A = this chain, B = another copy of it.
Amino acid sequence: MNKTKSPWIRTVTLPKPTLQDNTADSDRLISALKSKLQTNAVHLDLDLLKKLPDLLRKWEFNVRCILFKDRHGWLLSGIAAADDSRRFVGLAVDLGTTKVVLRLVDLSDGRLLGESGVNNPQLSVGPDILVRIHFAETSGGLKRLNALIIAGLNQTVQDLCRSCRLEPQDIYTIIVAGNTAMTHLFMGLDPRWIIREPYIPVTNKPGIVKAAELGIQVNAGARVFIFPNVGSYFGGDLIAGIFFAGLHKRSDPGILVDVGTNAEVVVGNENWLIACAGAAGPALEGGMTEMGMLAGPGVVDRIAIHPDTHEFDLHTIGGESPKGICGSGIIDLAAALFLSEMIDIRGKFVPAVCGKHLKQIDGLAHLVVVPADKSATGSDLTLSQVDLDSLIRSKAAMYTILETITTTVGITLEDLSSFYVGGTFGSFIDPRAAIAIGMLPDISLDRYKPLGNSSLGGAALALTSADFLKEIDEIRDRITYLELNVNQEFMNRFSAAKFLPHTNALLFPSVKKRG
Which chain A residues have a beta carbon within 8 Å of chain B's beta carbons?
Answer: 17-19, 21-27, 41, 46, 49-50, 52-54, 71-73, 187-190, 192-193, 197-205, 209, 213-214, 229, 231-232
List 19 A-B pairs, Cβ < 8 Å: A18-B198, A19-B199, A23-B200, A23-B204, A24-B200, A24-B201, A24-B202, A24-B205, A24-B229, A24-B231, A25-B201, A25-B203, A46-B213, A49-B187, A50-B188, A50-B189, A50-B202, A53-B192, A72-B72
B-side contacts of A71, CB under 8 Å = 41
**Inter-subunit contact B22/A52 (CB<8 Å):** no
Q: Min CB distance, A34 to chain B, in Å?
A: 12
In the complex, the answer to whether A200 meets B17 with C-beta atoms within 8 Å is yes
Given A27-B205, A72-B72, A204-B27, does the pair A50, B190 have CB atoms closer than 8 Å?
Answer: yes
**Cα distance A18–B198 when bound, in Å?**
5
Residue of B nearest to A30 (CB): B205
Could you say which residues of chain B place their CB within 8 Å of the CB of A72? 41, 72-73
User: CB-CB < 8 A to A214: which residues of B?
Assistant: 46
**CB contact between A189 and one of B49, B190, B202 (< 8 Å): that residue:** B49
Not counting A25-B201, A46-B214, A49-B189, a sample of 12 additional A-B residue pairs whose C-beta atoms are within 8 angstroms of each other reads A19-B197, A19-B198, A22-B199, A24-B201, A24-B202, A25-B193, A46-B213, A49-B187, A50-B188, A53-B200, A54-B190, A72-B73
Question: In angstroms, how far is the closest chain B Cβ from the Cβ of A30?
Answer: 8
Q: Which of A192, A198, A214 has the most CB of B within 10 A?
A: A198
- On whether the beta carbons of A202 and B52 are closer than 8 Å, the reply is yes
Q: For A197, list chain B residues within 8 Å (CB).
A: 19
Q: For A50, what are the chain B residues with a Cβ–Cβ distance below 8 Å?
A: 188-190, 202
- Per the bound structure, the CA–CA distance linking A515 and B21 in Å amounts to 49
Contacts of A198 in B (CB 8 A): 17-19, 21-22
Chain B positions within 8 Å of A54 at CB level = 190
Residues in B with CB closer than 8 Å to A189 are 49-50, 53
